[in-house]
Every structure is written in C-alpha cells, then in structure tokens.
C-alpha cells in the first residue's frame, strides 16, 4: 500500500466517522425525527456488516484499500459490497488491487463537473465474479470507457463477461479464473 496507516491514524479516522454518525442520530432525535434517526442507525449497522464482509475476503491489502480509500477525500467515492457471505479471493488479490487502483485513478482524472461520483465494487464469492459500477458524468465518456475496458482485458485472471456504457454509468462484470 502506498499509504501506511499508523494505529493512531486508523483510530482517528474510525472515530471521526463514528462521531459523524452519532451526531446525525443525536441531531435527528433532538428534532423529534425518530424515524430518520432509526434509518441512520440501520444504515450504520449495514455499513458495519458490509465492512466485515469486505474484511473477510482474505485480501488484506485490497480490503484496506477499499475500507480506507474515502478517508483521503477523492472526488469519486469508492464502495465495496459482497453478495452473500464472504469468500476467498486471496489468489486474485494482487490483480484486483492493481485493477481497482487503476480504475479509481482513471475515473478520478476523468470526471466532469462537481456532481457526486461513485464506484461500487461488488464481489460475488459463489461465482468468483467482481462487478465495477461507476455513476457520474465523465469528460470523455467513450474514451474513458475504452480505457477502462483495456484495464480489465490486460489481466490474465480476469475475463470480461459483460460491460456497458450508458449516460453517466459504466459497468464491468469480471469472471475470475485461475
């Protein structure tokens, strides 16, 4: 990893995130918005469960990247999801980490305007598949899409199953092979 976190750094960022969530809950409760406070609590619970599933993919460097990426204030927000229970992606960690970093770099350098941008990386352990779904406006959508397709096609263990590019959306479904 290019950024080595100290224990204090990790605790500071985690504490900051938790305090933000608690302040949102507290503010909504003080305004009498109990339903919204409950929604935020459920969102925090689901996020914690998702982070646990990401942590259990047996890919410590990739998991660290996915879990800490948004702490560095990139324009494109990165989200990790796991369909079902966590699985073992250890054989593919190096290529997945390299690919995810490349995709994030391309997207962060290709955004257009000040909209909200997100990249969701979804792992399907049962099928050994990974999907990359981007939402947001790109400066040159067609060229960026082709650059992203090339990133996925350069890795030996990745077979591009499906991809599409629609207005403000790019999607890539990868089958992992050993």
Query: Which of 145, 86, 136, 143 minimizes the C-alpha distance to 111?
Result: 136
Measured CA angle at 143 (ends 137, 144), to 5 deg:
50
Statement: residue 89 has pLDDT above 70 = yes
Q: Measured between alpha carbons, how far is 46 from 48 in angstroms, rounded to an integer?
A: 5
Same domain, 100 and 134: yes
3-state secondary structure of 34: helix
Q: What is the pTM of this model?
A: 0.88
Number of H helices, E strands in the chain: 5, 5
Same domain, 21 and 43: yes
pLDDT band at 144 (very low <50, low <70, confident <90, very high): very high
pLDDT at 9 over 80: yes
Q: Is the domain of 163 the same as that of 147?
A: yes
Residue-range definition of the domain harbouring residue 166: 58-176
- Whether residue 172 is predicted with pLDDT greater than 50 in this model: the reply is yes
Above pLDDT 70, what percent of the chain?
98
> Could you give the CA distance from residue 62 to residue 2 in angstroms, rounded to a whole number?
12
Q: What percent of the chain has pLDDT over 90?
A: 71
Is there a single domain that holds both residue 102 and residue 170? yes
Question: Who has greater pLDDT, 115 or 27?
Answer: 27
Does 132 share its domain with 49? Answer: no
Mean pLDDT of 165-177: 92
* Of residues 87 and 130, more confidently modeled: 130
Quick one: average pLDDT of 43-56? 92
| Mean of pLDDT values over 67-77 | 92
In this structure, are 125 and 155 located in the same domain? yes
| Strand 76-82 versus strand 117-124 pairing type | parallel
Q: How far apart are CA 174 and CA 178, in angstroms?
A: 13
pLDDT of 1 higher than 60: no
Domains in the chain, number: 2
- Which DSSP category does 116 fall into? -
Q: How far apart are CA 147 and CA 96, in angstroms?
A: 17
Residue 62 has pLDDT above 80, yes or no: yes
């Amino acid at each position: 990893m290019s950024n080595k976190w100290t224990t204090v750094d990790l605790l500071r960022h985690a504490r900051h995130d938790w305090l933000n969530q608690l302040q949102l809950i507290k503010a909504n409760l003080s305004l009498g918005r109990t339903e919204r406070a409950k929604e935020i609590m459920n969102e925090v619970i689901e996020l914690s469960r998702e982070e646990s599933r990401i942590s259990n993919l047996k890919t410590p460097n990739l998991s660290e990247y996915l879990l800490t990426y948004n702490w560095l204030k990139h324009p494109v927000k990165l989200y990790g999801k796991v369909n079902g229970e966590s699985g073992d992606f250890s054989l593919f960690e190096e290529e997945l980490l390299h690919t995810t970093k490349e995709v994030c770099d391309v997207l962060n350098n290709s955004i257009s305007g000040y909209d909200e941008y997100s990249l969701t990386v979804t792992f399907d352990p049962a099928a050994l598949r990974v999907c990359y779904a981007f939402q947001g406006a790109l400066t040159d959508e067609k060229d960026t899409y082709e650059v992203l397709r090339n990133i996925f096609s350069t890795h030996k263990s990745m077979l591009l199953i499906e991809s599409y590019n629609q207005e403000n959306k790019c999607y890539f479904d990868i089958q992992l092979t050993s």
